[in-house]
Structure 1
Amino acid sequence: MHGPASPGWLLVALCAATGAYCLLRMRSTVEEQRRSAGGEALMGFGMAAMAVPAAVVSPPSWAWPLYAVVFGTAALRALWAARTSAHHLHHLVGAAAMVYMAVVMATSSGHRGGHGSASGVPLLTGVLLLYFMGYVLLSGVRLIPVAAGGGAVGWSDRPELARACRLSMGIAMVAMLIAL
């Protein structure tokens, strides 16, 4: 997105690390965790790519429409998966927000690959900000420690780490929407 390079790189690192952990979660023995981890990995890496500071790397003009298509496809998949799991509704909102940001960046009048002077529809941006701020607060509350179960748990089956990743991506989404 646009703005100072240091916070942008921190956002890139946070999203890429979250995406990498979500890839690890895809090895889980719990089917629902594997299913949601793939979508979350896509979101993490996609957010990392979109957050690269324009002052450092200006994306080609075809990048923003490509993001819109990729996340539009992810939104359709989340819509289909929402039939069986309410958690996928959040994936739908997240993917739709990514499509929205990609379209705004593609149609912006800036001369630096869409990073220049992007601004979306203020009402839609505000609604998305409110949703993700609420999601961040709810995710933070869900991090309150729960009694530990018995036995050793692998890295891909740690629910508290999955919650922390979701919290991180929610915070990153708020930062990206504010920068929009």
Structure 2
Amino acid sequence: MTEQTPTPAEAIPGGVVNPATPPAPEEPVELTGSQEYSSEATGEPIPAPVPAEPDYKALYEKMQADLDATRQRSTEAGVEADELRAQVAQLQEQGLRDRIAAEYALPPVLAALVQGGDEAAVRKHAEALAAVAAPKPLLGAGGLTPHAEPDPYKGLAEKLRQRRYGI
């Protein structure tokens, strides 16, 4: 089969056929029962192309490279997951220390010093810091108990009575 040059109308999409161009003659394509083509120059039959067998070695090497890349990504993801687990554990411990420090009403400076591995140890340390940070009561200024708040009006009523009645 000879390859023909397309007409300008065929080569250019939307092209217009020039009326002076003669139409190309159509040649019928003849196929034999065995789907062989014949060479016009020699007249010998040309066998149909046989599909090539895939290159199994190249496929194996490509699959091996994909497997290695997947293993590498898996290792990197495992390392990243371990780092994230450690970060989550650290944030949970910090949250526990902050919550217990708030329960004992520790100021932020002392709340940052609270330490401990578990909740009982954190509570014990926060309690010790709270005992140190609590204000000391003034002895002798209160009522019957030394840590009670003094009554500011108690002495005032007695002074007014003495001034008015002279007693």
TM-score (norm 2): 0.18
Structure with higher Rg: it is 2
User: Using CA pairs below 8 Å that are at least 6 residues apart, which structure has the higher relative contact order?
Assistant: 1
Q: Which protein has the bigger helix share?
A: 1
TM-score (norm 1): 0.17
